[in-house]
């Protein structure tokens, strides 16, 4: 049962336009969310995160929005650049006993076309 869902496997956007990547979750115990970017054959790199007590966090071209009532978060990239083409993973933090672990979505492949 996928607790973190990225329902769009792929997204194609024109350079300079906005990219919106979506993530839905089912567990209300998640209290921290992260977005990672991954190129083929490389490890994921951290992009931006948000605590569940906030509804927006911004870092340069990247903004993450959190809607707790809808259990939905989104990553906005403005303006999109060809170098943004990668797979984007959404992850959510939960406590497992005394430990914290991340639950990962399956990723969305973003293609930014020149």
Partner 1 sequence: DGGITQSPKYLFRKEGQNVTLSCEQNLNHDAMYWYRQDPGQGLRLIYYSQIVNDFQKGDIAEGYSVSREKKESFPLTVTSAQKNPTAFYLCATKGTSGQETQYFGPGTRLLVL
The secondary element (H helix, E strand) that includes residue 89 is: strand 86-96
Segment interacting with partner 1 (CB under 8 A) among 19-27, 30-38, 59-67, 76-84: 30-38
The site that binds partner 1 (CB under 8 A) totals a number of residues, namely 23
Among 18, 29, 78, 106, binds partner 1 (CB under 8 A): 106
* Smallest separation, CB 42 to partner 1 (Å): 6
Query: How is residue 106 written in tokens?
Result: 């399956």
Q: What is the distance between the alpha carbons of residues 57 and 96, in angstroms, rounded to a whole number?
A: 26
* β partners of residue 67: 72
From the list 13-21, 52-60, 77-85, 103-111, the region that binds partner 1 by CB under 8 A is 103-111
Binders of partner 1 in range 44-63 (CB under 8 A): 44-46, 49
Please say whether the beta carbons of 81 and 15 come within 8 A.
yes
Give CA–CA dist 62/26, Å, rounded: 24
- Applying CB under 8 A, the residues found at the interface with partner 1 are 4, 9, 32, 34, 36, 41-46, 49, 89, 91, 93, 99-102, 104-107
């Amino acid at each position: 049962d996928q607790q973190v869902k990225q329902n769009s496997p792929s997204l194609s956007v024109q350079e300079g336009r906005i990219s919106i990547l979506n993530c839905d979750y089912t567990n209300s115990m998640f209290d921290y969310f992260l977005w990672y970017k991954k190129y083929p054959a490389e490890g994921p790199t951290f992009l931006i995160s948000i605590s569940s007590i906030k509804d927006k966090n911004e870092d340069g071209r990247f903004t993450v929005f959190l809607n707790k009532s809808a259990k939905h978060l989104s990553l906005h990239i403005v303006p999109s650049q060809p170098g943004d083409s990668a797979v984007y993973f959404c992850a959510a933090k939960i406590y497992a006993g005394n430990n914290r672990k991340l639950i990962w979505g399956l990723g969305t492949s973003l293609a930014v076309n020149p």
